[in-house]
Amino acid sequence: MTRVNSKARKDNSNGDFDYPGDSIAICKTSAIDPLEGLNLSSRFRTVAVITNGSSVPGLGDIGPLAALPLVEAKCRLINKMSDLTAMPLAINSSGADETIRLIDALSPSLGAVNLEAFGDAGALIIKRRVSEAGEIPIYLDSLDGLPVICLAALHNALKVVEKKMTEVRIVIAGGAITGLALVDFLRLAGASDVVVCDRLGAIHRGRSGPTNWVKEELASKTNPRQVKGSLPKVTSGSDVLILLSDASPPKEITQAMAPKAIILNFSSATSNSLGGPLIYASVKDVSFNLLTPALIFSGLLKGVLEAKARQLNAPMKMAAAMALAHLVPENCLSSNSIVPALTKPNLVAALSEAVAAAAAASGASRLL
């Protein structure tokens, strides 16, 4: 293999080599040994945050240009919290095929892609097809970040109330694709009694009325007791309520939950409309138990890039969830402390180390 001098072997993203001499030597090395080329380039310190502006929270389909400030803000946060280079990209693309071709074309320059403000249905198609190709990891807050944060919070909350994941009754309000991603992750963690409710009530096998592939898949994976009826009926006596839908249940419903109830609120519903839970956590601006995606994406993406991973798989996300949970020491766990603060000093480092190790152990790393 052609060797390059020590100066040329430095991180070329810092501009520490002569142009074109050292860069040509690095190109020659990369052509002969692609893995060495990965080490000599900035690819695995670079993530693209891509939006088509089709599903901006609270605004809907406002187009890529209007959504650009959102991805620029996220990139600034990633850059601030880690040593990654986050690149904002707003694209004129409404179809999955076009976006997949774009990601494929950009992949030589990127270690990972974060889809932002895409509709979940289109984003899921993109994620599945790109992941199957196994060339570049795809991350989404709704399908990857939310399940990770939810599991970390629930893991610690169950310790506080002294209940077991395998025994509690969990109700999820919101049966869309995000609900399906969450169900899959909770089942992987040992949850066995999960009921998902949509506007028609509990999803169960053989339910009449409008359906689609998401509801059919949810019906096959959840509701082992075949509970039927509205959200109030299903929630009564349950241990955990996870709100994905913005339709907030009345206070009397949450007060009918089991003793030591847990509510994890990923919707815009306010805590004032809920009542009675021992543990409450929310994505809203609260002073404790803040379930913000910012807890996870910088550290998770850094771990993905450090491992030079080909995909973001379930073991890597599970490692991230447990690392996030363990950032709250057991002697500090309480109803007001089930997730760490965003300012936790070792937040990014702990997550990235866990994710990188899981990538290597699961065979997702290019370093193998």
Residue that wins the pLDDT comparison between 142 and 3: 142
Specify the range with the lowest mean pLDDT, choosing from 84-93, 127-136, 261-270, 330-339.
261-270
Q: Where exactly are the structural domains of the chain?
A: 142-368
Cβ burial, residue 145 (10 Å; 0-12/13-18/19+): buried
- Spatial distance between the Cα atoms of 178 and 214, rounded to a whole number of angstroms: 10
Note the CATH architecture for domain 142-368. 3-Layer(aba) Sandwich (3.40)
Q: Over pLDDT 70: what percentage of the chain?
A: 89
Please provide residue 200's backbone torsions phi and psi, each rounded to the nearest 5 degrees.
Answer: -95, 0
Residue 272 pLDDT class (50, 70, 90 cuts)? low
Predicted confidence (pLDDT) at residue 5 exceeds the cutoff of 70: no
Q: In this model, does residue 60 exceed pLDDT 60?
A: yes
Specify the 3-state DSSP secondary structure of 90. strand
CA dihedral 118, 124, 126, 132 (to 10 degrees): 160
Distance CA 249, CA 106 (A): 44
SS3 58: coil
Tallying the residues shown for the chain, one arrives at 368
Structure tokens at 172: 């999820």
Residue, of 147 and 35, whose pLDDT is higher: 147
Q: Give the 3-state secondary structure of residue 20.
A: coil
* Whole-number pLDDT of residue 8: 42
Per-residue pLDDT at 54 exceeds 50: yes
- Claim: this prediction has a pTM higher than 0.75: yes
Neighbour-count burial for 332-368, b at 16+ CB within 10 Å, e otherwise? eeebebbbbeeeeeebbebbbbbbbbbbbebebbeee
Question: Could you say which DSSP state residue 332 is in?
Answer: G
- How is residue 76 written in tokens? 């600034």
pLDDT band at 7 (very low <50, low <70, confident <90, very high): very low
Q: Which residues contact 272 (CB under 8 A, 6 or more apart)?
A: none
**pLDDT value of residue 184:** 97
Q: What confidence tens digit (pLDDT) does each residue in 174-186 have?
A: 878 999 999 999 9
CA distances from 32 to 5, 44, 106, 254, 319 (A): 16, 19, 21, 63, 35
Average pLDDT, the chain: 88
CA distance 21 to 227: 70
Helices (H), the chain: 21-32, 34-40, 64-81, 96-106, 120-133, 146-161, 177-188, 213-221, 231-235, 251-255, 297-306, 314-326, 347-361
